């Protein structure tokens, strides 16, 4: 089994100019596109989501138990997860023999952040009822 991402580091472009990827290439899926994937793949993605959240929650509990700085851990964890996501996009682009579309990655990241915010708001409002 091949591991897609083995470390957290700054991805660089294939031409070495320091800018990650290129515009107009491979882009990540939107939330809507992920929801439209076939059932088996969707289950795998839900498992990934569940596992990642579990790891973050476990580590956050350890930070809390050690009286650590939980907000800093969470902010830095978001950066680490974005780095992993960027690495996954680079790997997908390499496998497809296309450049990664960094602008599309940023756009999807923003859309996902807005989706997560609205989802959280819906959960809070539902809890108040």
More confident: 17 or 128: 128
Q: How far apart are the C-alpha atoms of 12 and 58, rounded to whole Å?
A: 31
Flag whether pLDDT at 56 surpasses 60: yes
Instruction: Please tell me what DSSP assigns to residue 100.
Output: B
Residue 3 pLDDT exceeds 90: no
Higher pLDDT, 123 or 70: 70
Average pLDDT, the chain: 85
Residue with the larger pLDDT of the pair 87 and 14: 87
- Give residue 123's pLDDT: 81
Classified as helix, coil or strand, 110 is helix
Mean of pLDDT values over 92-101: 96
Q: Which of 101, 126, 104, 103 is nearest to 21 (CA)?
A: 101
Q: Name the β-bridge partners of 26.
A: 100
Instruction: Copy the structure tokens of residue 36.
Output: 């439209």
- Going by pLDDT thresholds of 50, 70 and 90, the confidence category of residue 49 is very high
In this structure, what token pair is assigned to residue 40?
């088996």
Q: How far apart are CA 1 and CA 74, in angstroms?
A: 30
Find, among 27, 9, 47, the residue nearest to 106 by Cα: 27
CB neighbours of residue 90 within 10 Å: 23
Q: Is the pLDDT of residue 17 over 90?
A: no
Distance CA 44, CA 123 (A): 24
**18 pLDDT exceeds 60?**
no
In this model, does residue 20 exceed pLDDT 80? no
Q: Where are the alpha helices (DSSP H) in 27-100?
A: 31-35, 39-65, 70-96
Report the pLDDT value the prediction gives residue 1, as an integer from 0 to 100: 40
pTM for the predicted model, two decimal places: 0.74
């Amino acid at each position: 089994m091949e591991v897609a991402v083995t470390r957290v580091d700054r991805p660089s472009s294939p031409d070495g100019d320091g800018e990650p990827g290129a515009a107009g290439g491979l882009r990540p899926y939107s939330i809507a596109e992920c929801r439209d994937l076939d059932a088996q793949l969707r289950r795998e993605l839900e498992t990934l989501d569940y596992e990642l959240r579990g790891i973050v929650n476990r580590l956050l509990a350890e930070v809390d138990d050690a009286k650590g700085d939980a907000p800093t851990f969470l902010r830095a964890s978001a950066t680490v997860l974005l780095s992993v996501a960027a690495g996954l996009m680079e790997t997908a682009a390499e496998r497809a023999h296309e450049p990664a579309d960094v602008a599309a990655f940023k756009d999807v990241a923003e859309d996902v952040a807005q989706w997560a915010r609205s989802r959280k708001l819906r959960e809070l409002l539902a809890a108040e009822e």
